């Protein structure tokens, strides 16, 4: 295998899109319609923001209750799109589809044990209406927050869409997060309702949800009612007047529900994401612009057509699932796959089995998953007929050329264009990505989507466009699915994204743009880790460790990892009376899992007597990381305790407890 990949991997090789793909692509048709000759001309013409996004509105068939008077109002750092438009995303995702595509399947869902459910647009719309009526009966009103802690089951999109329909704001919490993380998000959003399940199936096990939620609900006074979907038959205590079974509250509920006619700029959802402090940020997205952004990127980048079978393997608990499992595909009236469980259960070919079984045509996943499958070997995909695939995609982290080529060869059979899409929870939609007409360079997300203006700046704010020099990735003009702020944290919104350069969106990523104008994303600049494509704040893990009664200080840093991208390494100082040992390491690992979730568990823990600090007492993660990686820590003379550097170094080298 390595040999074939090596021969494919020639430095600087460009992969041209298959002619068939280009000829029939949605983007090509769009260009023909407007007399646009080539890619460069498309990018140039799309700089006319009003024109381009108005055209995208038509392309994806957005239906307003009353049309907007203006496309964009930009008063940095606040943006409004489609001003004056009356709208609800649920209309395009559901109401319209229930008429146009009543009997077309919206979701083919497969549970981990192998159970299958297919929901047509007609059925989905009916279920959403019923659930929206339940929420209304429970007193949920426009603008109220509803926290949803559900696994990958159809009830998750149903609950989200029901909120949208009545103008409530959903806040989905990833089902892999801990109950403590759930509590933090409920408290921040002041959610009135919690929607959860008894549990779900993952890697052959039952993971409980409701029983765990019970342990924090006493601390969440805003939650008036809890609706519980029965997925696994786990018994749970149902508190009278607070807890309701999903199937019971739906009894006798009418199938129709008026969709609330909102302002295009009303809030659709909050989604929490990690930042540089211990407290996650509540990223806000609004109905109108978000709808246009997600549907147009999906149509133009992933080229979705009426008969495609689309599979985005992300979890709906992340932005990728919000945008490209729920809203984007439904607005386009697509058929999507949804899978509940672990990718390798019961065997490492589960995903390839799903692709073959349902004839998936367009597949979107994460580099970390590709690297994992690459390690397991190509025998697994080769056992299956994957010839239905015509287009592939990745998201979440830079894809290394080896993984890119493996994906290209063994999953795409050397005939599928790979869309390496760069974007963020904050951007809501894909911003830098190839189109079906774009020549590819493995490892590069290629160029900004039409209408998007991205650049790389040096620290003075000079453009490094086509200079092939590393700098800060920025977006210089607003885009429709741009975040509208952080939930009740305006200052943080301004300081995180708008303070580095005036009126320019700061992404927090390092990148370079090569001589051909191709973007190469290099990773995060701030103290945020990217573990298996998940954003985890170093300080979140540190706060979790320090909340353990035996810990006094912690420094958490990332270390390159073959499959995960980055592994989490923690240097921990315990309290003076504590004797650190292996047992405590295990306990701390489990403690982090309880505080945040299993995804944030440190891969390595080192006990040290001291951590390098500045004179003002700030722990120097940068120094810890450098010595852990055997690199020069740089100038340490300004540290309050330069001797701590040796302690950290010895601990990382020997794995010994460097204490006392």
Residues within the interface to ligand PRX (CB under 6 A): 273, 319-320, 395-398, 420-425, 445, 507-509, 521, 523-524, 530, 535
Beta-bridge mates of residue 74: 79
Nearer to ligand PRX, 26 or 394 (CB): 394
Q: How far, in Å, CA of 538 to CA of 43, rounded?
A: 37
| Residue whose pair of structure tokens reads 């697509």 in the numeric block | 334
Q: Quick one: which of 614, 616, 610 has its CA closest to 647?
A: 610
Q: How far, in Å, CA of 313 to CA of 315, rounded?
A: 7
Minimum Å gap between C-beta 103 and ligand PRX is: 33
**What is the number of the residue whose Cβ is closest to ligand PRX?**
425
Minimum Å gap between C-beta 395 and ligand PRX is: 5
Nearer to ligand PRX, 85 or 275 (CB): 275
Residue 209: exposed, middle, or buried by beta-carbon count in 10 A (0-12, 13-18, 19+)?
A: buried
Q: How far, in Å, CA of 177 to CA of 504, rounded?
A: 32
Minimum Å gap between C-beta 447 and ligand PRX is: 13
Nearer to ligand PRX, 52 or 423 (CB): 423
Q: How far, in Å, CA of 539 to CA of 492, rounded?
A: 16
Minimum Å gap between C-beta 419 and ligand PRX is: 9
**What one-character-per-residue DSSP string does 227-264 give?**
EEE-SS-------TTTEEEHHHHTTT--S--PPP-EET
Nearer to ligand PRX, 61 or 439 (CB): 439
Minimum Å gap between C-beta 143 and ligand PRX is: 25
Minimum Å gap between C-beta 344 and ligand PRX is: 22
Length of the chain: 660
Q: Quick one: which of 655, 650, 648, 657 has its CA closest to 556?
A: 648
Taking the alpha carbons at both ends of the chain, their separation in whole angstroms is: 50
Minimum Å gap between C-beta 24 and ligand PRX is: 25
Residues 6+ apart with CB under 8 A from 248: none
Computed over its alpha carbons, how large is the radius of gyration of the chain?
A: 25
Minimum Å gap between C-beta 57 and ligand PRX is: 23
Helix, strand or coil, per DSSP, at residue 343: coil
Minimum Å gap between C-beta 424 and ligand PRX is: 4
Q: Quick one: which of 384, 322, 395 has its CA closest to 351?
A: 384
Q: Quick one: which of 57, 61, 139, 66 has its CA closest to 101?
A: 61
**What one-character-per-residue DSSP string does 162-217 give?**
HHHHHTPEEEE--TTB-HHHHHHHHHHHT-SEEEEESEEEETTEEEE-HHHHHHHH
Minimum Å gap between C-beta 306 and ligand PRX is: 26
Nearer to ligand PRX, 445 or 555 (CB): 445
b/e code 554-579 from CB counts within 10 Å (16+ = b): bbbbbbebebbbbbbbbbbbbeeeee
Helix, strand or coil, per DSSP, at residue 516: coil
Q: How far, in Å, CA of 5 to CA of 638, rounded?
A: 47
Minimum Å gap between C-beta 520 and ligand PRX is: 9
Nearer to ligand PRX, 85 or 367 (CB): 367
Minimum Å gap between C-beta 461 and ligand PRX is: 20
Q: How far, in Å, CA of 605 to CA of 658, rounded?
A: 12
Nearer to ligand PRX, 535 or 594 (CB): 535
Nearer to ligand PRX, 296 or 530 (CB): 530
Nearer to ligand PRX, 88 or 530 (CB): 530
Q: Quick one: which of 298, 320, 271, 642 has its CA closest to 484?
A: 271
Q: How far, in Å, CA of 146 to CA of 160, rounded?
A: 9
Nearer to ligand PRX, 257 or 483 (CB): 483
Nearer to ligand PRX, 201 or 422 (CB): 422
Residue 176: alpha-carbon gap to chain centroid: 13
Minimum Å gap between C-beta 511 and ligand PRX is: 8
Nearer to ligand PRX, 244 or 311 (CB): 311
Residue 6: exposed, middle, or buried by beta-carbon count in 10 A (0-12, 13-18, 19+)?
A: exposed
Beta-bridge mates of residue 147: 171, 194
Nearer to ligand PRX, 133 or 433 (CB): 433
Beta strands in 409-470 (DSSP E): 417-421, 454-457
Nearer to ligand PRX, 565 or 580 (CB): 565
Minimum Å gap between C-beta 433 and ligand PRX is: 8
Q: How far, in Å, CA of 310 to CA of 324, rounded?
A: 9
């Amino acid at each position: 295998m390595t040999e074939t990949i090596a021969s494919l991997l020639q430095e600087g090789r460009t992969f041209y899109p298959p002619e068939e793909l280009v000829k029939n692509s949605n983007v090509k048709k769009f260009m023909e319609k407007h007399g646009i000759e080539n890619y460069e001309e498309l990018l140039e013409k799309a700089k006319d923001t009003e024109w381009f996004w108005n055209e995208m509105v038509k392309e994806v068939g957005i239906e307003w209750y009353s049309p907007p008077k203006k496309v964009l109002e930009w008063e940095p750092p606040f943006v409004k799109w489609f001003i004056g438009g009356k709208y609800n995303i649920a209309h395009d995702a559901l109401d319209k589809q229930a008429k146009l595509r009543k009997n077309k399947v919206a979701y083919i869902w497969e549970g981990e044990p192998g159970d299958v459910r297919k929901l047509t647009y007609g059925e989905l719309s009916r279920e959403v209406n019923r659930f929206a009526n339940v929420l209304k009966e429970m007193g949920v009103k426009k603008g109220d927050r509803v926290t949803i802690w559900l696994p990958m089951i159809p009830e998750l999109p149903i609950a989200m869409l029901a909120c949208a329909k009545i103008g409530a704001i959903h806040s989905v919490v990833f089902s892999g997060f801990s109950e403590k993380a759930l509590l933090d998000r409920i408290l921040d959003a002041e959610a009135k309702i919690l929607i959860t399940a008894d549990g779900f199936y993952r890697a052959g096990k039952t993971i409980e949800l409701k029983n765990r939620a019970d342990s924090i609900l006493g601390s969440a006074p805003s939650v008036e009612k809890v609706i519980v979907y029965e997925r696994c038959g786990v018994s749970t205590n149902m508190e009278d007047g607070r807890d309701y079974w999903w199937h019971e509250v739906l009894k006798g509920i009418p199938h129709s529900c008026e969709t609330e006619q909102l302002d295009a700029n009303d809030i659709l959802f909050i989604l929490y994401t990690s930042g540089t402090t211990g407290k996650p940020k509540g990223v806000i997205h609004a109905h109108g612009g978000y709808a246009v952004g997600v549907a147009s990127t999906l149509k133009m980048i992933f080229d979705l057509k009426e008969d495609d079978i689309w599979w985005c393997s992300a979890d709906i608990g992340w932005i990728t699932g919000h945008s490209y499992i729920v809203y984007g595909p439904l607005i386009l009236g697509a058929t999507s796959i949804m899978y509940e469980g672990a990718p390798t259960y019961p065997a490492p070919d589960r995903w390839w089995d799903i692709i073959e079984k349902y004839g998936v045509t367009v597949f979107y996943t994460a580099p970390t998953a590709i690297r994992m499958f690459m390690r397991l070997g190509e025998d697994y995909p080769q056992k299956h007929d994957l010839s239905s695939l015509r287009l592939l995609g990745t998201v979440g982290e830079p894809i290394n050329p080896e993984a890119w080529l493996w994906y290209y060869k063994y999953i795409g059979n050397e005939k599928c264009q790979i869309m390496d899409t760069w974007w963020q929870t904050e951007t809501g939609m894909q911003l830098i990505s190839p189109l079906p007409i774009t020549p590819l360079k493995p490892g590069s997300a290629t160029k900004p989507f039409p209408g998007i203006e991205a650049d790389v700046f040096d620290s003075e704010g000079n453009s490094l466009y086509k200079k092939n020099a590393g700098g800060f990735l920025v977006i210089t003009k607003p885009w429709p699915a741009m975040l509208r702020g952080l939930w009740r944290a305006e200052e943080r919104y301004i300081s995180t994204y708008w303070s580095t350069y005036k009126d320019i969106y700061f992404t927090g990523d390092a990148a370079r743009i090569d001589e051909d104008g191709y973007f190469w994303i290099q990773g995060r600049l701030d103290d945020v880790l990217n573990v298996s494509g998940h954003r985890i704040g170093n300080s979140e893990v540190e706060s979790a460790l320090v909340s353990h009664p035996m810990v006094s200080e912690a420094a958490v840093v990332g270390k390159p990892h073959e499959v995960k991208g980055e592994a989490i390494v923690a240097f921990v100082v315990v309290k003076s009376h504590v004797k650190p040992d292996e047992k405590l390491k295990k306990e701390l690992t489990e403690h982090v899992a309880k505080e945040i979730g299993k995804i944030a568990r440190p891969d390595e823990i080192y006990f040290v007597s001291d951590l390098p600090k500045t004179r003002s007492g700030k722990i120097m993660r940068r120094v810890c990381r450098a010595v852990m990686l055997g690199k020069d820590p740089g100038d340490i003379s300004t540290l309050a305790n330069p001797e701590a550097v040796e302690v950290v170094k010895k601990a990382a080298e020997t794995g010994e407890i460097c204490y006392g």
